[in-house]
Structure 1
């Protein structure tokens, strides 16, 4: 009786079958991590037996078809590919508690995969690795588990765990089971030994805990001592002793060692700012603000921190611009300007050119026109040419035209050269002079026509459009008080000319209005659109975003910008509900009767 000869299984043919089974195992593991996508769980039972037979055949075939070594090498490759393509990237892209949850899930998957891989390659592990004295397949899986936890993952996981521990110390609820699972990973990577856990987690955790309680202790002790001294006064000392006693304790606890306390390496102000410890910073601020000049060192450290952080960010941009990817110094310089411009607009909502113009406008008003020329080269870019931002400097300068015409013309000529503007100096100057004369005639017209009443003081600067940059205009619906003024001036202007049409540029106008607040009346200098918005509240206690938008006839972007300046900026003339830092179409607004001018000095 003859037995049929077993067919040879070539490496490519056999490995294709094995690889399909491994890929199906990976899909099952991913399904357990993300089962919510609705896809059914793959079935592994239909391939595992075929895989084991194929592996067995490839390991027991006669030379040269014994592929045991090749299968051993591919076993390594499977783990390398799994960690590189699925394990590490998915952990790295998450942060904080989400990263810890991903790490725990990936670690569990890795352990399940180790068991199945050992089951599939059981014959290879039992005979080939033993006969060649090679590391067992189980040892290979454990070794690659350490690759999954590289130094970056370990550091991020450790920091995330310590951060959650700090939150619990501050009274927040945390997922303790999650932390226990992460700690178990540190132990399991070390094969149950504590050395890995102690070196890569425990040492840093203990160091951080010491710094945490050192920081807390210094602040708690100071606050507690001051509290006890006040309590002591209330029980058996004279009330007149309280201030003296408190000042004495503050001096010894805080003033004498102020620099040492604020600059401590592990718990000082720099560390609190770096780690964003808001509560500890608040406690430190409360303690030192009551001491004469107590915040001087505090503010100096804060300034140094902001300077260092800002310098580091700018240096990063400069380094990126100087990399080999940039060709030529001009390109590097332009890239740096663009990057800084974008970062400026992101933080402030305004371009650097717009911020500079506001700064220059303040210098103009203080008579420092020569200083403005030193800054104007920053605006000499293509962006400034494409819009009228740079030209706004010239407009602003004309609007504060002084009596010294020769000096002013020299300054304007320099600005024009820096900004490449096409504005005509002579025509613009003559036009402004004519506008000033026109205002004088208008005032005379009002005095001679007592039946004409504007209701409010009105100054109008009429300029010839051909001599000036174009400005975006919008059809602002003015309140009745302003409409009457506009109609009066329009009637006056038509008595002087029939061939010119007035186009009102409200964005260049300012208004001085009298706000009646609970504490006192306060004069507010605002833009025309801001004044129009505020006057709406003379007839309504509460207005919605859509009502303001409709009554002013402005588009969404203009209304958001307008209401943000009145309700979210430094001076909150309007109160907003909800009280957030941004304006949305569902907000409601009220006049802030409790507003006070904190900057005004008595």
Structure 2
């Protein structure tokens, strides 16, 4: 019974606890949780306020009647008693009856505990606000959780963890389980960490990872006899399901750990076995263009640290072997008797197709990954620099460009030309001897421009721009100079043609002036010209000297061309020929017969020039001259005369002649390389002043982008620079060089 002290009403501890709090709150709460009362009978506002007020009054009475400490203690005892007398026996009773039954009971008891904790906190709110805070004690919620952990969770966690793992493995085997049940119990594990995941990690996650490892180790043994694609389909499906499993009922922090365990067991441990399977491994998938399977293989092995390295190595070896097949087929054709020429479009197109195909595989199937880009590059560097026959791949590739860019070559639209040039430049980027390609390409470009056989200036500029992007301005400066020469020279040509119209001449005569530094060096034979040609040349020389007094002219007759009218019977033809051929035809005019030696004397021509010249006119497709004796070879004893029976369906005919120049001037390339090596050495030594031999060698090799010099050549150039006193050997160490300013 309450008493009064002064004017304040005092509630004794036992009376307040037993008659008010226990009888009206705790006993009713336990009855509700035990199902002895309907849940609808939970505390109404009036009841709640009454109980709260009692607790409040008991905590605010003056000492010694302030019962805060006692109420805090009895709050904990109440929860502990309920857990030990009601909850634990119920859970023990369900042990051994099956994982679902035990977990269902645990969920039920955990939800009840949360309800109890919530209501007790409401009743004792004043305790939480003042007494707990003032004495730095665990809050009522924390105290309730700790009690559940020590009295229930610690005893039952082994059984419940095994039950959870059993249900997860059931689901992995395709059985239907109650996911919401597991999710609720997982939330209990999370709550037992009191704000951290320590309990979840140590009591559930660790066991789950071990169980997952055991499960997939067995699956790996079951699946390994499948084909690689089938195995990887199962592996990807397993990883997807494990990820969804985490979303469904596990803590998100477990996802990476679980997936890592699965990846180690079903991918990492058998990676090489899967990749190297003879009939279904990586090589077989590449061979059979299995794009979808390759994409899956890439996705899965990219999950592993360094997992793509073996796959990229197989990819590189596969491309190398495909390239070797193309090279070997060319070798077989040459050994089979096919003539070795610098023009082999079939070979170059095969390389382009191979590159285009597997560049597509890298982009589409391997997501453009840098490892596979490098594998493709390394394979093609090996393939493209493997020469067969007397002509290098650099020459074959340049000649392929020549076919595309000259009239009468490949019949392509503008877009097809650009596409073909793009692809050949991609191959070019793998060439070690880019300077060799540049020399050949420049010669062929010059020939196209001078003979006016270039299909399009725009295409020529486009190709030069692509090479410039690959190698820089230095690489293409001479080519650009050649095009510039022709553009600038067109105005002067027009001016000179106007001058020629005022002269009484039987010839239409024009001259192209070239800048020596841009164009290849050509042979310039001093042949005897026709009087009319000499007259026209003198006119031009006088005109040119008036305009450009300090410029020296050198005539390059081997690069000139002419149109010659030939009359055979009643038919006339226009022959498109070189200047040298025109001179020879003029010498054979009016049906004269001349020996080879007589012609050589009359034309003042060397045998090395006259032989290909007469061969083109008497042994080619259009036999304008007759050679005696007949045959396909020119001998010094042969005689020649005009062919009176010559006839053709076409009125305009082009008579080709074997070039007097090689498209590759090896000596010039070697000279350029010597200059480039020495320039690199001097540039490096000027910056570094002192350098050890091996370091200098390494830096020179890094700087030279257009070719790959032999270290022996670099050493020779170093010796040459020492002799010329650009460098000196260190007095202390012969392997160290000093720069001499």
For the criterion TM > 0.5, the same-fold answer is no
TM interval, shorter chain, is 0.3 to 0.5
The higher radius of gyration belongs to: 2
TM-score by length of 2: 0.32
Higher relative contact order (CA 8 A, sep 6+): 2
Taking structure 1 as the reference length, what is the TM-score of the superposition?
Answer: 0.39
